[in-house]
A and B are shown apart, each in its own frame.
Chain A
Amino acid sequence: AQSVTQPDIHITVSEGASLELRCNYSYGATPYLFWYVQSPGQGLQLLLKYFSGDTLVQGIKGFEAEFKRSQSSFNLRKPSVHWSDAAEYFCAVSGNQFYFGTGTSLTVIP
């Protein structure tokens, strides 16, 4: 069965520090993978997506993600976090349906 797991419910980082949010998926075929960000009280905004090709994909707001088939992972990274990055982050996989993780809440401290 298809599924997405985000192991970290909540992460706190200092402003300027690097960030990595973890995502593991279970999908039988070639996955199509996404990261979304949700600011408080808002809908989900697409950060980046992976369909094929280069396994390192660049997104908006300075985010990138790396697809690792051997680890069934699609981790999101940012070299230097800004206070405005505080939000909820969702990983998703698309096949016949869209499957979302339960999200990781990011807190940024000064």
Chain B
Amino acid sequence: DVKVTQSSRYLVKRTGEKVFLECVQDMDHENMFWYRQDPGLGLRLIYFSYDVKMKEKGDIPEGYSVSREKKERFSLILESASTNQTSMYLCASSFTTGVGNTIYFGEGSWLTVV
């Protein structure tokens, strides 16, 4: 089975803190994704990466950055956390986008910024 592991399930951070959300996948997937999920808004893509050290902005990249130094690991960074970044964050991975892909999700990280 595909395993996408998000290291932190629940975090509480203060406004202005730097926050790291870590994600590891064990299927040698080329692509990794970070989504944000808010009630009524569904899943919104923050960033994705199609290879080591490569990244592309998604729909809502403002206030976020990412790092992919190893193929299996994709980190989401909030440089200076703000209360409007309180949300559920989902990491996902897949083989190369295009036909026949399936995207697999981690369990999610609940971030509260106070």
Binding site for B on A (CB under 8 A): 9, 30, 32, 34, 36, 41-46, 49, 51, 90, 92, 94-98, 100-103
Contacts and interface: CB of A to CB of B under 8 A. Distances in A.
Nearest to B33: A98
Contact of B102 (A30, A41, A49, A90): A49
B102 A44 contact: no
Interface in B37-96: 40-43, 45, 90, 92, 94
A41 B42 contact: no
Nearest to A102: B42
Nearest to A103: B42
A44 B90 contact: yes
Contacts of A98: 33, 94, 97, 101, 103
A45 B102 CA distance: 11
Most A CB within 10 A of own CB, among B90, B105, B108: B105
B107 interface: yes
Contacts of B107: 42-43
Contacts of A101: 42
A34 B42 CA distance: 15
Contacts of A32: 99-101
A42 B103 contact: no
A101 to B, nearest CB: 7
B105 A44 contact: yes
14 contacts: A32-B101, A34-B102, A41-B110, A43-B107, A43-B108, A44-B92, A44-B105, A94-B97, A94-B103, A96-B98, A97-B97, A98-B94, A100-B43, A102-B40
Most A CB within 10 A of own CB, among B92, B101, B104: B101
Contacts of B94: 98
A47 B29 CA distance: 20
Contacts of B104: 46
Sorted nearest first, the 4 A-B pairs with minimum C-beta distance are A102-B42, A43-B105, A44-B105, A43-B107
Contacts of A42: 107-108
A32 B40 CA distance: 24
A34 B108 CA distance: 19
